[in-house]
Structure 1
Amino acid sequence: MAEAMTYYEKAVKTDLPTMGVPGVNAFLGDIAVSKDEDKTIVAGFYRMEKSDEPLVYEYHYHEMKIIVEGEMIISDAAGNEVHATAGDVFYFPKGSVITFQSPNYGIGFFCGQRKEGEA
């Protein structure tokens, strides 16, 4: 029997929980999770709002992200910096340290090679 697809209507409007980092207005929520125990992938949304401090995040897994709304300033430990807007795509390899900021707000859709809740 064929597997059925799963539909998440207006998922970009999901109320995301805070990441709980003091001084940082960052929110993240896992929306979809694969059923493959060996190669689990998770997809969801990340929202960054203007904050007193940037979010510095070390990736313990591989992730792809596309900016779907607003804008973010994204930089890495190698000194690269991008003013990202809707349609920009990023690959964050396992072990990378990435800094996120926003002059107002930005929303990114991500797909990561990790288990649910491990961000």
Structure 2
Amino acid sequence: MPAMKFFPQAIKTEQPDMERPGVNAWLGDVAVSSDEDKTIAAGFFHLKKSEKPLVYDYTYHEMKCIVEGEFKITDQDGNVAHAKAGDVFYFPAGSTITFETDSYGIGFFCGQRREGEG
């Protein structure tokens, strides 16, 4: 039976820039399962106040827990949530989600995708 894996203080690791013009956003995988059929990836998403919102098209299912700061999160139907630490979201595959913040926010995610597909 495989042993558990531990990633101490993973929230503090530097994440890759999402390279979206006008958007201060970083996202990186901390852990990825080895299940070839139903791979899951987990990590952190960071957003700082930006010129533009981050608009993201989900091609996979994802859960996100806000761990620091705050976000304004809007879906493709215009539903808006003002999220803060402790709030949890489910973004189904096929959804378009817009992320904004007046300061900064950090979310922990777990998505049904392969490494680096986020």
TM-score of the aligned structures, taking structure 2 as reference length: 0.99
Q: How does 1:36-55 map to 2 (within 5 A)?
A: 36-55=35-54
The match for 1:68 is 67
What is the CA deviation profile of residues 14-44 of structure 1, one whole-angstrom value per residue up to 9, with x for unaligned ones? 1011100000001000000001000000000
The percentage of counterpart residues that share the same residue type is: 64
Superposed structure 1 runs of 4+ greater than 6 Å apart:
none
Aligned-partner residue type, residue 19 of structure 2 = G
**Aligned partners of 2:2, 2:20: CA distance in 1, in Å?**
39
The match for 1:105 is 104
Aligned-partner residue type, residue 51 of structure 1 = S
**Aligned partners of 1:56, 1:21: CA distance in 2, in Å?**
10
Structure 2 residue 38 is the aligned partner of structure 1 residue 3: no
Aligned length: 118
TM-score of the aligned structures, taking structure 1 as reference length: 0.98
Two-structure CA RMSD over aligned residues (Å): 0.5
**What stretches of structure 2 of length at least 5 have no aligned partner?**
none
The match for 1:86 is 85
Secondary structure at the counterpart of residue 105 of structure 2: strand
**Aligned partners of 1:116, 1:12: CA distance in 2, in Å?**
18
Give the superposition deviation at 1:3.
Answer: 1.1
**What stretches of structure 1 of length at least 5 have no aligned partner?**
none
